[in-house]
Amino acid sequence: MNGSTALRDELTRAARSIGAPDDVVVVIERPRDPSHGDWATNVAMTLAKSLKQKPADIATSLVAALNLADAGVAEVSIAGPGFINFRIASGSLASSLATILTQGAKYGHANSKQNAPVNIEFVSANPTGPLHVGHGRQAALGDAIAALLTAEGWNVTREFYYNDGGVQIQRLTESVFLRAVERELPEDAYHGTYITEMAGEYLTAKAAQWGIDVPAARARLAASWDADLDLRDDVRKFSVAYLRGEQDLDLKAFGVTFDVHYLESSLYSDGKVEETVAALNKAGHTFEQDDALFLRTTDFGDDKDRVMRKRDGTYTYFLPDVAYHVVKWQRGFQRAINVQGADHHSTVTRVRAGLQALEIGIPKGYPEYVLHQMVTVMKGGEEVKISKRAGSYVTVRDLIDEVGRDAVRYFFLMRKGDSQLVFDVDLARSQSEDNPVYYIQMAHARLSGIFRVGEIDAATVTGEGVQWDCLAEPEERELIKALLDWPRLLAGAADSLEPHRVAAYLLEITRLIHTWYHKHHVLGEPEHITKARLVLAKAARIVLQNGLAVLGLSAPERM
């Protein structure tokens, strides 16, 4: 049993024995100053009102009622107005490492959610170009949040929503056509070599289909464009399919996969948009004005009512977004999380208002949103703004080519999503302790090296017969406590949807690992010490692997 769990259980028992209610909640935390002990609790202060006693008196009674041996406590003290500090015996503290070895890759995981379904939608880029670094940050966030929730027992579906309709797709189609017939592109067209590549591949395919050469195909395309609507649609379908393939390659290079790819166009072809309009009209929350159809979103907290159908009969993005989330709900996802850029902030209120206006039982906070800020890429002390291929922006693959997948993922996740992120290419490429990715992965490689140099099969290292009280050095105790904190840290990161907590935790235990590694030898010591330290090395390696896996990073055995 984890030492903190045993202590919490014993404190709960002792509190009830002195008159605390059965539903008493005991919270134990790490003291800010390690010299105060390994754990501390303020339960005496929280019980003062119900027990009608001074916290200091309650603390004294609690300590007297505790079976310290059962909780593995070596020392206990009362401080301030009623804080109780505990120091765990080295043997009891270290014995918890056996749990890490037994659970391995599942250490820290929980089944508290019992396979409940959750949908996580992220990236969802318009198929109009390669994925930029903002999409990359979103991909890293969404994938890591999915991993966090999976570890907590959720049945996670990763979903990519393709906006394959609208003005941007029309602009893409026009851009590819103009490049294909060698006409000048207007300023608002899509530029970049990828447009030229698409146009060339389309021309080659049409030339083969028509049985003519490429120049003849170019002339035929130019002559038919204005009158042949089917040809326009053909270019659109080709362009969308081409860029979907390109984006899939971007995501593959980033190590991100999806369970579902949902097309916006299917909401129209399947009648879901019209069904949503009819349902909103029936619910009585719509009105017409100036030949446009509005939804009274102000009834649900929006700052103004929103247009759903414009004068020309086309729909705004808002309406299919509402229809799409109705479909999510109908597919059985009572929890849905959208990871999107901060520029989608206004979408939150609109979509939730639309779902509430339908009056079909969808809760007010549905869906949940995780919004992130964009990324500034720096290299050589200067901001990098354009890509060789995309032209107007830096792509995910640009960064991966520069620094590798692991560095890109970690740097995208090392800050809270809603904070600005400066991606320092030079730092990400450096092989130094200043580079957090290198520093963390080097710790794993060093731990692996212990087993390799000692010619020891790590699978044979277990907690059986270990003298746990050998692991009593201050550096060992601090490392062990940090390793035992992993389940609590993982649960907190999952509940808050904040993968950056895992990134920070990995950096902290890495510091402790390096300090221990440099100060205390594992091999060449007396057998009982080597045996105990091998367990600690293996446990630390497991926790590093588990944390790196959540972030989608590799755990190299050599560097």
- Residue 55, pLDDT > 60, answer yes
Are 237 and 206 contacting, i.e. CB atoms less than 8 angstroms apart? no
Q: Strand pairing partners for 293?
A: 288, 309
pLDDT of 390 strictly over 80: no
- pLDDT exceeds cutoff 70 at 3: no
| Residues 330 and 473 both lie in one domain | no
The reply to whether 69 and 207 lie within a common domain is no
End-to-end C-alpha distance for the chain, whole angstroms: 35
At 541-558, the pLDDT tens digits run 999 999 999 999 999 999
The reply to whether 546 and 440 lie within a common domain is yes
Q: Which CATH number is 49's domain given?
A: 3.30.1360.70
Residue 155 pLDDT exceeds 80: yes
Contacts of 302 (CB under 8 A, 6+ apart): 349, 350, 353
Each residue's pLDDT tens digit, 241-275: 999 999 999 999 999 999 999 999 999 999 999 99
Same-domain check for residues 356 and 488: no
pLDDT of 200 > 90? The answer is yes
Which of 344, 372, 400 terminates a domain? The answer is 372
408 in a structural domain: no
On whether residue 122 sits in a domain, the answer given is yes
Q: Is residue 406 part of a domain?
A: no
Please give the average per-residue pLDDT across 274-303, as a whole number. 93
What pLDDT is recorded for position 72?
A: 86
Check whether 540 has a pLDDT greater than 90. Answer: yes
Report the CATH number that the domain containing residue 302 is assigned in CATH. Answer: 3.40.50.620
Indicate whether 456 and 487 sit together in one domain. yes
Q: Does residue 377 form part of some domain? A: no
Q: What is the mean pLDDT of the chain?
A: 94
Per the structure block, which two tokens stand in for 512?
Answer: 């402790």
In a domain, 403, yes or no: no
CATH label of the domain that carries residue 506: 1.10.730.10
184 & 236 share domain: yes
Most confident of 187-191, 297-301, 425-429: 425-429
- Kindly state the average pLDDT of the residues 469-478: 96
Report pLDDT digits (tens) over 59-89. 999 999 999 887 889 999 999 899 999 999 9
* pLDDT at residue 197, rounded to an integer: 94
User: Does 153 lie in the same domain as 74?
Assistant: no
**Residue-range definition of the domain harbouring residue 58:** 3-88
pLDDT number for residue 20: 93
Calculate mean pLDDT across residues 206-212. Answer: 96
Question: Is residue 416 assigned to a domain?
Answer: no
3-state secondary structure of 508: helix
Q: Stretch 405-428: mean pLDDT, rounded?
A: 97
- Same domain as 366, residue 289: yes
Mean pLDDT for the stretch of residues 48-65: 94
**Number of structural domains found in the chain:** 4
Q: Domain boundary residue among 322, 355, 372? A: 372
Residue 481 domain flag: yes
Q: Helix/strand/coil (H, E, C) string of 306-363?
A: EEEECCCCCECCHHHHHHHHHHHHHCCCCCEEEEEEHHHHHHHHHHHHHHHHHCCCCC
Which pLDDT belongs to residue 488?
Answer: 93
Poorest-pLDDT segment among 178-192, 498-512, 542-556: 178-192
- Let me know whether 105 and 34 are in one domain: no
Give me the DSSP letters along 355-422: HHHHTSS--TTPSEEEEE--EEEEETTEEE---TTTSSS-BHHHHHHHH-HHHHHHHHHSS-TTS-EE
337 and 350 housed in the same domain: yes
Instruction: Please give the sequence-ordered ranges of beta strands (E in DSSP) within 6-148, or none if there are none.
Output: 28-29, 39-41, 73-79, 83-88, 117-121
For the segment 423-449, the average pLDDT, to the nearest whole number, is 97
Say what the pLDDT of residue 354 is: 95
pLDDT digits (tens, 9 = 90+) for 327-380: 999 999 999 999 999 988 888 999 999 999 999 999 999 999 999 999 999 999
Q: Look up residue 77 and give its amino acid.
A: S
The pLDDT of residue 323: 97
> What is the average pLDDT across 114-121?
95
Residues 146 and 268 in one domain: yes
State the pLDDT at residue 297: 93
List the structure tokens of 323: 């229809």
Residue 444 in tokens? 């794993």
pLDDT of res. 428: 97
- Would you say 20 and 50 are in contact if contact means Cβ atoms under 8 Å apart? yes
pLDDT at 146 over 90: yes
- Residue-level pLDDT at 2: 57
**Cβ–Cβ < 8 Å for 207, 217:** yes
Q: Three-state DSSP class for 160?
A: strand
Please give the structure tokens belonging to residue 161.
Answer: 């929503």
Same domain, 46 and 63: yes
Any domain includes 411: no
Which of 338, 354, 372 terminates a domain? The answer is 372
Of 112, 131, 36, 136, the closest CA to residue 80 belongs to 36
